[in-house]
Structure 1
Amino acid sequence: MMLTEETVVAASALPVAEFRAHLRLGTGFSDMGEEDAALERYLRAAMAAIEGRTAKVLLVRDFALSLEAWRDAVAQPLPVAPVSAVTEVRLVDAAEVVTVVAPEGYRLVADLQRPRLAACGGELPSIPAGGVAEVRFTAGFGASWADLPTDLAQAVFLLASQYYERRDEGAGGREMPYGVGALIERWRTVRLLGGRR
């Protein structure tokens, strides 16, 4: 299984000005452009860390999931949430011949913890021997920062603040700060038995 992010969050969607205010940084200085670029990097790094820990996509992006086999013939769990749409399912054989699956053959089962691609009556189409299935979908809480749940938005600010404050120390430990961990705990997906039925 390989998950690929096909689009990125636009810089305009990131709350750099709000983050600057959160850090209580001054404005009107000649080097603000450079500082804002650094603040954007800290926000992106914090978002990536929180998305990695929770399997929740914060701001809307498009993804492609490549699979050599379905987890279940009837429904395939998607690795991140919330998913708003499955835009395409393709089968690619060993000779790289692509077959697009008719949208009537599958549906999205929206779920905040475990969204799924499900067959509409019967089973998902067979994946060719030596080939893959590619599932393209859109995931995220929304297109703007205001669409995020308040606790996740605050967790991003707290973690990005730590990155900013420790910027001269290099990479820190693997543990999330307690405040960030407490804010994201309810969003974490509990995986039992490796996600198998």
Structure 2
Amino acid sequence: MMLTEVTAVPGAALPVEALKEHLRLGSGFALAPAQDGLLESHLRAAISVIEGRTAKALLERRFEWALAGWRDPVEQALPLGPVARIAAVTLVAADGGQTVVSPDSYRLEVDLHRPRLVAAGMALPLIPSGGRVVIAFDAGFGLGWTDVPADLRQAVLLLAAEFYEHRHDDGSGQAGLPFAVATLIERWRAVRLLGGRGRR
């Protein structure tokens, strides 16, 4: 199984100004000029960490998930939520030939923690022997930063500020998330998307 981010979060959607304000309030010092690029990189890193810990896409974008077989012939849990739409389901044969599956043969079961691709009939389409299926889908809370839940927004700012303020460290410091960040994201980690059978 392989999950690929097809479209990146646009720079304009990142809360660079909010992070600047947060750093000034938290540290009491003026930021060096022309640091927007550095702050953006810390925000992207923080978003990546939060998304990895919660299995939630914060800002909406396109993903592709390739897998060699269904865990359940009737429904397949998706690896990331919340999913807004299924863009395409494509069967890829061992020789590379591709067949786009009719959208009439499946539907999206919307769920914040465990979205699923569900067969419209008796079963999901048969994956070719030695081949794979590629599911393209759009996941995220929305296109704008204010669409992201407030606790996750705060967690990103806190973690990005941590990255910024320790940017010159040699990496030998304490591992793991800061306590405040871990607390903010805890409720979003309650149900993990494991891609398994049934509705755990």
* TM-aligned CA deviation for residue 72 of structure 1: 0.5
Asked if the contact 1:90–1:101 (Cα under 8 Å) also holds between the matched residues in 2, the reply is yes
Asked if the contact 1:3–1:65 (Cα under 8 Å) also holds between the matched residues in 2, the reply is yes
| Change beyond 3 A, Cα 1:174–1:122 | farther
Matched with 2:17 is 17
Matched with 2:153 is 153
1:51-97: CA deviations, max 9, x gaps?
Answer: 00000000011000001000100001100000000000000101111
| Change beyond 3 A, Cα 1:92–1:52 | same
Query: Whole-Å Cα distance in 2 between the matches of residues 63 and 146 of structure 1?
Result: 21
Identity across the alignment (%): 53
Matched with 2:183 is 182
Query: Whole-Å Cα distance in 1 between the matches of residues 41 and 16 of structure 2?
Result: 10
Which 5+ residue runs of structure 1 have no aligned equivalent?
A: none
Matched with 1:80 is 80
SS at match of 1:163: helix
2:141 counterpart of 1:141 = yes
Which 5+ residue runs of structure 2 have no aligned equivalent?
A: none
The equivalences for 1:42-191 within 5 A come to 42-171=42-171, 172-191=173-192
TM-score, scaled relative to structure 2: 0.92
Asked if the contact 2:62–2:138 (Cα under 8 Å) also holds between the matched residues in 1, the reply is yes
Q: Tell me the amino acid that sits aligned with residue 64 of structure 1.
A: E
TM-score, scaled relative to structure 1: 0.93
* Count of matched residue positions in the alignment of Structure 1 and Structure 2: 193
| Change beyond 3 A, Cα 1:141–1:191 | closer
* TM-aligned CA deviation for residue 195 of structure 1: 3.2
| Change beyond 3 A, Cα 1:96–1:59 | same
Asked if the contact 2:76–2:195 (Cα under 8 Å) also holds between the matched residues in 1, the reply is no
Asked if the contact 2:77–2:194 (Cα under 8 Å) also holds between the matched residues in 1, the reply is no
Q: Tell me the amino acid that sits aligned with residue 187 of structure 2.
A: R
Query: Whole-Å Cα distance in 1 between the matches of residues 93 and 12 of structure 2?
Result: 39
Query: Whole-Å Cα distance in 2 between the matches of residues 137 and 114 of structure 1?
Result: 14
Q: Tell me the amino acid that sits aligned with residue 41 of structure 2.
A: R
Query: Whole-Å Cα distance in 2 between the matches of residues 195 and 70 of structure 1?
Result: 9
Q: Tell me the amino acid that sits aligned with residue 127 of structure 1.
A: I
Asked if the contact 2:78–2:195 (Cα under 8 Å) also holds between the matched residues in 1, the reply is no
* TM-aligned CA deviation for residue 175 of structure 1: 1.1
Say what the alpha-carbon RMSD is for the aligned residues.
1.7
Query: Whole-Å Cα distance in 1 between the matches of residues 107 and 170 of structure 2?
Result: 45
| Change beyond 3 A, Cα 1:192–1:160 | closer
| Change beyond 3 A, Cα 1:105–1:161 | same
SS at match of 2:114: coil
SS at match of 1:158: helix
Q: Tell me the amino acid that sits aligned with residue 183 of structure 1.
A: L
Asked if the contact 1:55–1:189 (Cα under 8 Å) also holds between the matched residues in 2, the reply is no
1:160-181: CA deviations, max 9, x gaps?
Answer: 1110111110445441111000
